Amino acid sequence: MKNKAIYIIIGLVIISGIALVISINKNTSLKNDPSSYGLNNSVKESTVVDLKNNDTFDLTASYITKEIKGTNQTMLAYNGSIPGPTIRVAQGAEVTINFKNGTDMPQLLHSHGVRMDNAYDGSQMVQKEIQPGESFTYKLKFPDAGVYWYHPHVQEVYGQGLGLYGAFIVTPNDPTYFPKVNRGLPVFLSDIPIENGSIALDKNKTSHTLMGHYGNVMLVNGDDNYVLQTKSGEVVRMYVVNAANARPFNFAIKGLKLKLVGSDSGAYEKATFVNSVVLGPSERAIVDVLIPNAGTYEIQNQTPTKSYSLGTITVSEEKIDNSFEKQFTVLESNIATIKSIDPFRSYFNKSPDKTISLTLDMGGNMMGMQGMGHGNHMMSNGSTMGGSMMGSSPDGIEWDDSNQMMNATTNKDSIKWKIKDQDTGKENKDINWVFKKDQPVKIRIFNDPNSMHPMQHPIHFHGQRFLVVSRNGVAQTNLAWKDTVLVKSGETVDIVLDPSNVGTWMAHCHISEHLESGMMLQFVVEK
């Protein structure tokens, strides 16, 4: 039986390879005629926009042209730039975003991580898609300091992959909330697939549902040759956002230490020095970096097998006038964060209120491979992995597309990613949790390593915040408020959810293809 299983898998890989070649030869790259959607506009430089309470801002999604790897590409942008404008607001502010769809496809604008009113969540659960040429007015409020971002919530792998993303930076009311720095800037990490000189994304169909699209070109702030110019002694705050569809990043600056001060929704209990920061898709980190001396430093994605160059920091001989180097060496505790967490600590060690598992079913189009996930099966490199056909690296993270042929030929009919409620047996959209406002809920998330393809999942809860209180039974000791957590293959993660926003919301895997194949649940927060 084992030999038969292996032969089936080998056959499938061969067939997948043939199918992939055919697919490439047919050119599944970006195909559209966006001439009537502003394609004549070249990409603009991204700007920072400061909005005050009750201000209004116009935001338009449209086509642009941008050079990637020496070739002009048709891409998408907010207000003509990649990333879109960085919108900076004070904590507690309320602003209005007049959004216009200047593309040829439906759009939704999701303000990721922002605890806004339910009606403006920008998800399919609460809002009709905005058709080409139409507009919608979003009224947003920002109760929490931190870094958030906006992106499409329809056909994300295409729209977001082509450049539709931008940052909200919410400055704290307390000027001592974060350490002082010379300046701050968003740092968007992303990737894009380039085949035969063109972007290989198709807005009309869903593919790569096994692992999601991994791009073969990595970008920083939309550039494949990103350069940051600084002065000697400058302390720079980087609001790092993983805007990639499926790729996790291990963000580092070679030769420099990072001062980790914040996560998705504000500051850590205490700042720490780290060499790198792992970010799953849609996760964020706020890091301060001291640029000590003139020279060049490399921005890297450091995976267990390879370090990728993402860009450079070029430091001039000129000294910064007012360096915060001394403050950089101090690891501050954040009293505001500690106090905000204190009311939730009694929930940390209680039994979970809800338990979900993350798993995978293979459809009938996978040549009868359903049910083969138990036992030792051949991996893409020819080795075997107990309990799975193929899967992530020993650390539980799929750092790259290790099964390209298989991945490319899967779709939402053949691959069914699942969130399963362990108490009720319900799955995905059939799950409908009901929570009471301001009554914390402990949720256990188990990423089943016996799936046909064990893989990490970045799980995002809309409209709420939570604390990651333990991983594999080990208590987490330095906490920050989050809205997305990367759950590695085989990992059990406990979170304590703060259900503060009334309405109907969704929680889902932030790999777009996994969401489209069904990996989401619904929950309601009642008064």
Assign residue 167 the CATH number of its domain: 2.60.40.420
Sheet (strand 484-487) strand order: 432-436, 520-526, 503-509, 457-461, 484-487
Sign of CA dihedral 486, 487, 488, 494: positive
Residue 58 located in a structural domain: yes
Q: Which residue from 417, 491, 484, 485 is spatially nearest to 447, judged by alpha carbons?
A: 491
Distance, C-alpha 478 to centroid of its chain: 22
Instruction: State whether 310 and 209 are in the same domain.
Output: yes
Instruction: State whether 254 and 210 are in the same domain.
Output: yes
Which DSSP letter does residue 214 get?
P
Q: What pLDDT is stored for residue 27 in this prediction?
A: 38
Q: Considering the entire predicted model, what is its pTM?
A: 0.90
Q: What pLDDT is stored for residue 39 in this prediction?
A: 56
Percent of the chain predicted with pLDDT > 70: 87
Instruction: State whether 453 and 379 are in the same domain.
Output: yes
What are the backbone angles phi and psi of residue 320, rounded to the nearest 5°? Answer: -65, 140
> Does the pLDDT value for residue 3 go beyond 60?
no
Ordered alpha helix ranges (H), 342-396: none
Instruction: State whether 189 and 90 are in the same domain.
Output: no
Q: Across the strands, what pairs with 228?
A: 313
Instruction: State whether 58 and 137 are in the same domain.
Output: yes
CA distance 75 to 159: 9
Instruction: State whether 348 and 330 are in the same domain.
Output: no
User: Pick from 334, 368, 383: which residue ends a domain?
Assistant: 334
CB 130 within 8 A of CB 152: no
Per-residue pLDDT tens digits for 213-248? 999 999 999 999 999 999 999 999 999 999 999 999
Residue 28 located in a structural domain: no
Question: Mean pLDDT, the chain, as a whole number?
Answer: 89
Helix H or strand E segment including 339 = helix 335-341
Q: What pLDDT is stored for residue 381 in this prediction?
A: 31
Question: What is the total count of domains within the chain?
Answer: 3
CA distance 39 to 33: 9
Distance, C-alpha 162 to centroid of its chain: 15
Residue 294 located in a structural domain: yes
Helix H or strand E segment including 523 = strand 520-526
CA distance 413 to 517: 8
Per-residue pLDDT tens digits for 269-316? 999 999 999 999 999 999 999 999 999 999 999 999 999 999 999 999
Per-residue pLDDT tens digits for 350-367? 999 999 999 998 765 444
Per-residue pLDDT tens digits for 317-337? 999 999 999 999 999 999 999
Q: Across the strands, what pairs with 44?
A: 81
Domain that residue 360 falls in? 344-526
Instruction: State whether 449 and 516 are in the same domain.
Output: yes
CA distance 276 to 365: 41
Instruction: State whether 117 and 227 are in the same domain.
Output: no
User: Pick from 171, 198, 216: which residue ends a domain?
Assistant: 171
Residue 305 located in a structural domain: yes
CA distance 387 to 489: 12
CB atoms under 10 Å from CB of 444, counted, come to: 17
Q: What pLDDT is stored for residue 391 in this prediction?
A: 57
CA distance 306 to 304: 6
Q: What pLDDT is stored for residue 206 in this prediction?
A: 84
Which DSSP letter does residue 204 get?
T
Instruction: State whether 350 and 497 are in the same domain.
Output: yes
CA distance 472 to 489: 11
Taking residues 100-119, what's their average pLDDT? 97
Ordered alpha helix ranges (H), 401-511: 404-408
Instruction: State whether 199 and 291 are in the same domain.
Output: yes
Instruction: State whether 392 and 488 are in the same domain.
Output: yes
User: Pick from 334, 353, 382: which residue ends a domain?
Assistant: 334
CA distance 496 to 440: 6
CA distance 34 to 519: 32
CA distance 459 to 493: 11
Amino acid at 429: K
CB 237 within 8 A of CB 67: no
Distances (CA, A) of 194 to 21, 161, 201, 250, 522: 15, 11, 9, 22, 35
Instruction: Pick the range with the lowest mean pLDDT from 19-33, 165-179, 457-471.
Output: 19-33
Helix H or strand E segment including 494 = strand 492-498
CA distance 282 to 112: 8
CA distance 155 to 107: 8
> Does the pLDDT value for residue 11 go beyond 60?
no
- DSSP conformation letters of 284-352: EEEEEEEE-SSEEEEEEEE-SS-EEEEEEEEEEEEEPSS--HHHHT---B-HHHHHHHGGGGGGTTSPP
State the pLDDT confidence band at 28, using cuts at 50, 70 and 90.
very low
> Does the pLDDT value for residue 37 go beyond 60?
no
Q: Could you tell me the end-to-end alpha-carbon distance of the chain, in angstroms, rounded to an integer? A: 56
Residue 95 located in a structural domain: yes
Residue 13 located in a structural domain: no
Q: Is 155 helix (H, G, I), strand (E, B) or coil?
A: coil
Instruction: State whether 153 and 192 are in the same domain.
Output: no
State the pLDDT confidence band at 41, using cuts at 50, 70 and 90.
confident
